[in-house]
Amino acid sequence: MIETPSRSHELLRRQREVLFPALTPLYGEHPIVVDRARDQYVWDIEGQRYLDFFGGVLTVSVGHCNPEVSDAMVAQLQRVQHTSTLYLHELMVQVAEKVAAITPGRLQRSFFTSSGSEANELAVMAARMYTGQRDVITLRHAYAGRTATAMSLTGHGTWRLGGVFDGSIKHVRNPYAYRAPAGLDADGLLDLCVQDLEETLATVTDGRIAAFMAEPIQGVGGFIVAPREYFRRVLPLVREAGGLLIIDEVQTGWGRTGRHWCAVEHWGVEPDVMTFAKGMANGAPIGCTVATPEVAEAVRGLTFATFGGNPVSMAAALATLQYIERHDLPSHAERMGSRLFERLAALQRDHPWIGDVRGMGLMAGLELVVPDGSKRPDPERTTALLAAAREHGLLIGKGGLYGNVVRIAPHLNVAPEDLERGCALLAAAAATLA
């Protein structure tokens, strides 16, 4: 009997003929071909429904096609779709006002672009123009995007393509508690990270830097959470070297980590520049760099973003931020997060191959290892768990330098019953793996 190829397989065949192979879907041998989505669900073109616990990489923050966000976008689309930054549009000012009101400290001036990569590109450029220095220090295991500067900032070899990187960007040890050198406790690891920063400043810079840049929780890195004292410990060294603190909240922003709008508020430091993207506009293309007035002031000269502050993206951002505010989703994420971590801790007790459970709020990672006490990463089981979850109708993500961290990030407005159902589906999927 001749098997009729499914619509998904047929589409995959066509995509290979017309798209870069690098655009092959990353997840699974049989990738999902998305047809439509609504609230917590995604449907593939075969009609299968999935509960979405990854939100297009933490981007669909308030549910797929959230009517408040979609309606605002459609209304804007019918009014004016594009202006470019050659002209002013009220929505851009309104979103910037909201960002200034929400972000901590003296962050008051925004610049909008279309992606997190561009937001980071500008953050580094602004720090260099403000300080007159070139060197930037960031962390191993960081991910900052796919422009040349963003790839240079990235501390994952596999995400650094093309071979020409900015040599004035240096990477220091990240505070990766689960993979700390043997015998080091939490304090010892913190000391080691601070020492590495000191040595890096002394050995491969002239003692002056433009910036130190970090994600409070490394996203692509596998939801590695910086210890509570981390930024307070590194900041004096950064200041002594004349550097700015740039915090990348592309994944962690807008209530994702619970209680606060911005993750960095949990660490009690005030950055000079922050970057956002992803969940800020619930899926509409956006990047946002927000800086103190004096840093913004230093960016002089001609610079332009055709799609920066695009009215439709701005309408989406304003509606998304208003929705998060009106429903107090940072508090909801904190409540749902503690329930999620309880369920994941129980799952870990059942499965010795779950080496670590970590994260904050609605940003949870499971690091999968070979269960022989060696902590050897187990990317194969990670892939198998993603596939089993999909079989059970649940979408989750993965990450980590070794491809062995399951990433779980339900929408910020996840209902308690969906949270429970997602955890039950994950447990059922995990039970199928020996």
Evaluate whether 322 touches 228 at the Cβ level (below 8 Å): no
Q: Are 113 and 289 in contact (CB under 8 A)?
A: yes
Max intra-chain CA distance, the chain: 74
Residue placing its CB nearer to ligand PLP in the complex, 219 or 355: 219
Say if residues 368 and 405 touch (Cβ distance below 8 Å).
Answer: yes
The structure tokens listed for 192 are 């080691």
Told to check if 115 binds ligand PLP by CB under 6 A, we report: yes
Binding ligand PLP by CB under 6 A: which of 194, 197, 277, 344?
Answer: 277
Encoding tokens for residue 40? 């917590």
Q: Does 120 bind ligand PLP (CB under 6 A)?
A: yes
Site string for ligand PLP, 141-170 (x = CB under 6 A): --xxxx------------------------
**Residue 219 CB, nearest approach to ligand PLP (Å):** 4
Taking CB under 6 A as the criterion, which residues in 380-419 touch ligand PLP?
A: none
250 vs 401, which CB is nearer to ligand PLP? 250
Residue type, 270: E
> Are 291 and 126 spatial neighbours (Cβ–Cβ below 8 Å)?
yes
CA distance 192 to 29: 40
Among positions 216, 219, 255, 397, the unique one binding ligand PLP when judged by CB under 6 A: 219
Least separation, in Å, of the C-beta of 278 and ligand PLP?
6
Q: What is the per-residue binding string for ligand PLP in 229-268, x denoting contact by CB under 6 A?
A: -------------------x-xx-----------------
Report the run of H or E that residue 419 belongs to, with start and end: helix 416-431
The 10 Å Cβ neighbour count of residue 313 is 27
- Residue from 116, 155, 361, 397 binding ligand PLP (CB under 6 A): 116
Of residues 120 and 205, the one with the C-beta less far from ligand PLP: 120
Q: Is 121 in the site for ligand PLP (CB under 6 A)?
A: no
C-beta neighbour count of 387 within 10 angstroms: 17
Instruction: Point out which span in 87-95, 114-122, 361-369, 371-379 binds ligand PLP (CB under 6 A).
Output: 114-122
> CB under 6 A: which stretch of 33-41, 176-184, 215-223, 352-360 binds ligand PLP?
215-223
To ligand PLP, the closest distance from the beta carbon of 275 in angstroms equals 7
Q: Which stretch binds ligand PLP (CB under 6 A): 18-26, 125-133, 167-175, 213-221?
A: 213-221
Per CB under 6 A, contacts with ligand PLP among 72-91 are none
Q: 176 near 155, Cβ under 8 Å? A: no
Nearest to 263 by CA among 332, 370, 379, 359: 359
Say whether 138 sits in a helix, a strand or coil: strand
Give the range of 84-92, 137-145, 323-331, 386-394 binding ligand PLP by CB under 6 A.
Answer: 137-145
Whole-number Å distance between alpha carbons of 136 and 276: 19
Nearest approach, Cβ of 6 to ligand PLP (angstroms)?
30
Which parts of 26-65 interact with ligand PLP (CB under 6 A)?
57
Cβ 197 to ligand PLP, closest distance in Å?
A: 20
Burial-class residue 83 by CB neighbours within 10 Å (0-12, 13-18, 19+).
middle
Could you say whether residue 223 binds ligand PLP (CB under 6 A)?
no
Q: How far apart are CA 28 and CA 350, in angstroms?
A: 25
Nearer to ligand PLP, 124 or 388 (CB): 124
Residue 228: count other Cβ atoms within 10 Å of its Cβ. Answer: 13
Judging by beta carbons within 10 Å of its beta carbon (0-12, 13-18, 19+), is residue 393 exposed, middle or buried? middle
Q: Residues interacting with ligand PLP, by CB under 6 A?
A: 57, 115-117, 120, 143-146, 215, 219-220, 248, 250-251, 277
